[in-house]
Amino acid sequence: MPDTMNIRRISAACGAEVSGIDLTRAPSPGQVDVLQRALGENGILLFRDVGLTPEQHIAFSRNFGPLEAHVIGDFALPGHPEIFVVSNVKEDGKLKGAVYAGQYWHSDLSYMQKPSMGSLLLCHEMPEIGGDTMFANMFMAYETLSEPMKRFIGGLSAVHDYSHAYDTYFAHLKERPPLTAEARARTPPVEHPMVRAHPVTGRKALYVNPGFTKGIVGMPPEESRPILDLLFRHSVRPEFIYRHKWRVNDMIFWDNRSVTHYALADYDFSVRRHMHRTTIAGEATH
Among the listed residues 108, 161, 250, 255, the single catalytic one is 108
Active site residue 22: no
Active site residue 203: no
Neighbours of 245 (CB within 10 A): 11
Neighbours of 54 (CB within 10 A): 16
Alpha-carbon span 215 to 213, nearest angstrom: 6
Long-range contacts of 161-167 (CB under 8 A, 24+ apart): 161/111, 161/187, 161/188, 161/189, 161/190, 161/212, 161/214, 162/71, 162/111, 162/187, 162/212, 163/187, 164/111, 164/211, 164/212, 164/213, 164/214, 165/104, 165/106, 165/211, 165/212
Q: Residue 32 carries which side chain, given as an amino acid letter?
A: V
On whether the CB atoms of residues 91 and 269 are closer than 8 A, the answer is: no
Angle at 88 between CA 84 and CA 92, to 5 degrees: 100
Active site residue 160: no
Among the listed residues 124, 196, 198, 277, the single catalytic one is 277
Among the listed residues 192, 198, 261, 276, the single catalytic one is 261
Among the listed residues 70, 106, 196, 257, the single catalytic one is 106
Active site residue 286: no
In angstroms, the Cα distances linking 218 to 30, 159, 195 are: 45, 10, 16
Active site residues: 106, 108, 261, 277
